[in-house]
Structures are given as structure tokens and as C-alpha cells.
Structure 1
């Protein structure tokens, strides 16, 4: 499943994502990853969560490369149970126009690899009209 956390910039989505990730790692037997744009605000993540800062991977510049990165993670670690992606519109040239394609591909990875995704989007839910919400859950 792909869980979406939506809302305008500055509405507290990052803190909610961190709280959700910290709770997830307490309640699962596998691994939890937290992907964000920069190294800021990672100090409040549990030490049991693998934090990945995309600023360290500047060569990832589009959806296909980003999804390839996620597939690489899943092929290297079959124990991933949850992946949190904070502020997706700041990553790899992903925007409101191409986010429907990105969400569809995440749903496929989720189904194939049995991974729960949590994605924060700096937009109101109403702005995601082209996103097929079947297989998604809007958390707010």
C-alpha cells in the first residue's frame, strides 16, 4: 500500500512522517527506511531506521532513476517492510504533473515486494486529482 500524507509546505508533514516511522520500527520485524532530501532533521529518527539523504545521490535526476534506486534497495534487502519518502516533490524532478506515474509505480513495487510506502507531498489532496487512489490511503 502507498500511504499519502498531503498538505501545504510548513504544515508539519515531516514531523508526522518521523513519528510514523519511529512507530513503525517499533512494531515490525523487518527494516524501515526513511528517504529525505537533505541531512536536516534526521536526529529525531530512531537509530533502528536507515536514513537516506538524496543529496548524497545527486546523479538521480528523474523518476526512472529514483525508482531504480528503490528497486536496488529492495533487491539488496529483502527484509524491508516500510519505506518513508519525505517531501517527494523535492526529489529527482518529481512534480505534480508526473506524480501520478510515480505513485502507480510505487504501488507496483509495494505489491511485488510487500513493502508499505509512506509518501509526503507538499500539496493539498485536491491537487492530486490525476492520482489513482486505488491502493492508496490518504492519512490526513
Structure 2
């Protein structure tokens, strides 16, 4: 399952993400991971959440992100939920680029094969989102 939270800056995406992350600690039976850029969630999320600061890994594109997620799972089969905060900012792509839709489809397939939930935030106008992104709202 992939869920996308999308909206322009200031619409409460991060607040909603923090609430979902903190509730996942109590509702998930496995490990919960959050990938972010900038360390802004450090003090807002539960200490049991594995927080990954993406800029330490020089993620330059969505192919790198696919490998990173695959590696995370290969190293820990107990992961049940991965949160990705501000996907386009982490990998440096435009939110409306077709590659984001392709990545979300890949993520959905990965999710189904491995029984992992993914929640992704994208900072952009949701009215401009393509159908490939909208299906994950």
C-alpha cells in the first residue's frame, strides 16, 4: 500500500505525517522507518522510529532511492512501514515529473511483494498532480 500526502507548503503535510508516524509505533507489529531531509523531525517523532537523514547518503535520483529502499529491506525484513518526507526534495526531482509516477508504481509493487506500507509526502499543488500520483491519495 502506498499513500501520498500532497499539498503546497503550509498545508499541514508534515504535521499529518508526524501524527501518522507516531501512531504507527503503536499499531505496527514490525519496525517503522522514516526517511527525511534536514533533520526537522528529530524531536517530533517517537524514539522507536528509525529516522534516516537522507542528505548523508547523497541521494541524487529515484533510481538511487529504489536501491536504498531495497537495501533497507534486505537488511531488515521486519520493516512494516516506511515514511518518506518530501520525496522530490530528497532526490532532486520536480514533483510533477513523470518519473515520480513511475517511482510510486514501483513502490506499490515493492509494497505488495514485501507487505510494507509506504507513506510519501510531496510538496506541490495537488490539483496539478497527474493521474499516476492521484491514485495514491
Residue of structure 2 equivalent to 1:64? 63
- The answer to whether 1:109 aligns with 2:110 is yes
Deviations 1:33-83 (A, max 9, x none): 01101112321110110000111111x211111110000001111011100
Q: Determine helix, strand or coil for the equivalent of 2:8.
A: coil
Deviations 1:89-119 (A, max 9, x none): 1011232212111111111111111110000
Q: Which has the higher helix share?
A: 2
Q: Distance in 1 between matches of 2:100 and 2:122?
A: 9
CA RMSD of aligned residues (A): 1.3
Residue of structure 2 equivalent to 1:53? 53
Which structure 2 residue ranges, 5 or more long, are not aligned? none
Aligned-pair CA distance for 1:126: 2.3
Q: Normalising to structure 2: TM-score of the pair?
A: 0.92
- The answer to whether 1:11 aligns with 2:14 is no
Q: Normalising to structure 1: TM-score of the pair?
A: 0.90
Deviations 1:116-137 (A, max 9, x none): 0000111232222141555x3x
- The answer to whether 1:73 aligns with 2:82 is no
Residue of structure 2 equivalent to 1:91? 90
Deviations 1:9-36 (A, max 9, x none): 1212111101101001111110000110
The list of structure 1 runs, each at least 4 consecutive aligned residues, that deviate by more than 6 angstroms after superposition, is none
Q: Distance in 2 between matches of 1:68 and 1:9?
A: 28
